[in-house]
Chains A and B, each alone.
Chain A
Amino acid sequence: MQNPYIPVPVEVAKIITEVDTKDIKTFRFAFLRKEDEAAFEYLPGQFAELSIFGKGESPIGIASSPTQPGYLEFTVQKAGVVTTALHEMEVGTVMGVRGPLGNSWPIDYLAGKNIVIVGGGFAFTTLRSLINYMLDERNRSRFGKITVIYGARTPGLLIYKDELAEWAKRDDLALHVTVDKGDETWKGREGFVPTVCKEVAPSSENAVTVICGPPIMIRFTLPVFFELGFSKENIITSLEMRMKCGIGKCGRCNVGEKYVCKDGPVFSLAELDKLTKEY
């Protein structure tokens, strides 16, 4: 019997410090065994348990795209025991990854539609996975217009800066990066994400929006999309809860009868409406 509690060994291959405050880093992991890599079939929006023996596990969204073979990336904020240990790691350290877990962004549903990605702060990781997935030359034609609205509090808190610069050059993606408050070097847009969504005003025709960010951002962004005519079926988000097993057994991440780890983390607003409001 396959044991879903056993992580596979990976090696820290690359560490990128993403933000000025240095508490958000992207970790690139290389699989130690080829067969583990082949078995780790995932889609954007899924997560994995980062497993540091002696410290524990932490469920983190996968930030790389399955179109980028050979490695996995996770962007992690230093917060608790496991993520602090992770932040202290060096390239070459061996640890574990357990997954992929959870459902994914609904790729088949998104295909053929215009996609509006809305991200706030560091909750941009699985959205980045989705963007890179859609931009891959094998996939780009499956999706319509792609609009990305991404914001952070300050320029120094934007993650994936190099990638943002690359995306800005493309003509098959409309990128709108904003910060709540700029600094002397910032030449881009200033303003809160909901405001920018209002200004950009993406059409709801044949469109789906995928939103991830702090609760306050989501609260003020949703009315904007309702006004633009997006139905609840076409507003999709991802939930976070405290988790342990990641496979719907340990009993702590349920919202109503659904387990965020197993039945989520991705839900449409229409699906969330049917659940209890306990997250």
Chain B
Amino acid sequence: MEKRVIRKETLAGIVGELAGKMRVCAPMKAEDEVLFRVLEAGEKPLIEFANAKNAPKNFLFPRTETLLKFTRTGKGMVFAGDQKDGGETLLFGVRPCDARSFTLLDMLFDQEKYRDPYYLDKREKATVVALGCVRPPYTTCFCTSVGGAPLSSEGVDILLTDLGEAYLAEFLTPKGEALREAFGGTPAGEAEEKQKETIATQAAEEIRSRIPAREIKPILDARFEDPFWNTLHQKCLACGTCTYLCPTCHCFDISDEVKRADGIRIRNWDSCMFPMFTKETLGHNPRPSQKERWRQRVMHKFRYYVDNFGAIACVGCGRCVMACPVNLDIRKVVADIAKL
């Protein structure tokens, strides 16, 4: 694996230049927020930021995506082709927690029996450049409790670590290697590597928010009917913000839209927090109240995903904690479950 040192002041320019050659998605200032978006050629991304409000998942699994097209004929609407996208993409400025979310989504979308071509096509064409969290950006960060780390390289093709005056760039995969020339820099030595290791240890220590995420699995296995679930959801507004900001939530709806002779079938993000999510045509709803929906969200992330894929479906980014309008904090929920 090649490691190089890149001068700090050159980084944004390098990415801006790449944006003229390929699709580059990066964190940008949007009013008072930081959001991932596609850069124009030459546009420089933010380098100093905490994390983007939206997860970069959107570029692999868009909020709205066309699955297929159809058209009207004398015999009815018939299939008219599926949507193929968009070419090579650089996802720049991804935080290690969000990069890890891609590996969790891979487990679902890349199963042996059914592979999801829409996600996988984008995933295969995406190169992930992560900016390691030298200073964990928020007090709500808890990546270390769910298998991550501030400088985790899971799901990362190029990992950038801020060494003060320069970045250490680690080209971790063939996809990352392919961009080595574009990033330039000079070969890194032992000193830089040592420095990075020290930073990694310090940064992990700085993450003070710790939750017993693994420990609650056997409790969840045994406590599906626990009275705990009767009150947990009571202040939830069912707005779904937690699931829309979550980098690992993958649920979607499929619906059709028609305009005159042509139509599309699209998938949109959906949320287990919504009553309609499981409501059947004849009226029956297996999850009839917010109690069952909250239980599903917790169970899916900390029990079912572990059963099916051996991993917790949470990367500890803390977005749901920060955005919940009624301060329902998944960290507290997990801590409370541990006490059951």
Contacts and interface: CB of A to CB of B under 8 A. Distances in A.
B79 interface: yes
A20 B307 CA distance: 47
B197 interface: no
Given A242-B280, A256-B304, A257-B303, A247 B114 contact: yes
A6 B79 contact: yes
B54 interface: no
A278 B252 CA distance: 20
Contact of B287 (A55, A92, A249, A278): A278
A137 to B, nearest CB: 32
Contacts of B255: 56
B270 interface: yes
Nearest to A215: B284
Contacts of B183: none
A1 B77 contact: no
Interface residues of B, number: 51
A54 B258 contact: yes
B117 interface: yes
A163 B250 CA distance: 44
A257 B308 contact: yes
A57 interface: yes
Given A94-B78, A249-B108, A256-B304, A241 B286 contact: yes
Interface string B252-291: 1111101000010101001010000111111000110000
B228 interface: no
* Across the A-B interface, the 9 shortest Cβ-Cβ residue pairs: A53-B77, A251-B251, A53-B70, A80-B281, A257-B307, A247-B114, A257-B304, A94-B75, A54-B258
Given A241-B286, A256-B304, 7 more contacts: A2-B115, A9-B78, A53-B77, A53-B78, A242-B278, A250-B252, A277-B224
30 contacts: A2-B115, A5-B68, A6-B79, A9-B79, A52-B77, A53-B77, A53-B78, A53-B265, A54-B70, A54-B256, A54-B258, A54-B263, A56-B255, A56-B265, A79-B281, A79-B282, A80-B281, A95-B76, A242-B281, A244-B253, A245-B252, A249-B114, A249-B250, A250-B252, A254-B296, A254-B300, A256-B299, A257-B307, A276-B299, A279-B286
Interface of B: 67-68, 70, 73, 75-79, 82, 108-109, 111, 113-118, 120-121, 224, 250-256, 258, 263, 265, 267, 270, 272, 277-282, 286-287, 292, 296, 299-300, 303-304, 307-308
